[in-house]
Amino acid sequence: MSESNEARSRRRFGLIAVMAALPLAADLATKQIALAEFSPTDPVSTLGGLLKFTLVTNSGAAFSIGEGATWLFSAAKLVVITVMLWGARRVRVPLWGVVFGLLIGGATGNLVDRVFRPPAPLQGAVIDWIQLPHWPVFNIADMAVVCGGALAAVAVLRKISLDGSPVAEEPAGTGAPGGPEGGNAAADRDNGQARAED
């Protein structure tokens, strides 16, 4: 039995590791290509202008918010990644394994930029290069985080827990003071009190 549990644990962490490594590797590789091939002043247009490749460095969050607090975003990402790695121990469902992997891989991709890129450790600018109409420029790591978040929302809406256990739903009226059982119990107490007074 212990060997079976150990095998399941290995598969679970293997899934999370793969789903984290794939977007992380793709993100790091495509950022290097973007640095070498794309320019912020001369974007490459494709699909009739629907999709553009342009080089943007972002020291803040989405829409360049908080550019003066890069270190704060770096610290926040580090905390989030640490918490997710800790929480991954509870994952027993493949869907949640994919969610955790995508979120960890995406967050790590942008954290690598903030830690290792200029101007200083924990203050580096994130490399963004994918542009869609009416949307801020983003990268593969951002896509992984968004996809992971969407899958997490699906899992929550479908009431899928991390370990696969059924989500407890208390039946309406059961045990409630005004419910059927609560009302019967109150009636029994009243009848008992009346008999005692008689």
- Is residue 190 part of the annotated active site? The answer reads no
- Is residue 128 part of the annotated active site? The answer reads yes
> Choosing from 27, 42, 113, 128, which is the catalytic residue?
128
Q: For residue 59, give the nearest of 50, 49, 68 by alpha carbon.
A: 68
> Choosing from 113, 142, 163, 190, which is the catalytic residue?
142
Q: Which long-range contacts (CB under 8 A, 24 or more apart) does 142-148 make?
A: 142/106, 142/110, 143/23, 143/106, 144/23, 144/27, 144/102, 144/103, 144/105, 144/106, 144/109, 145/102, 145/103, 145/106, 145/107, 147/102, 148/98, 148/99, 148/100, 148/101, 148/102, 148/103, 148/106
Residues with a known catalytic role = 128, 142
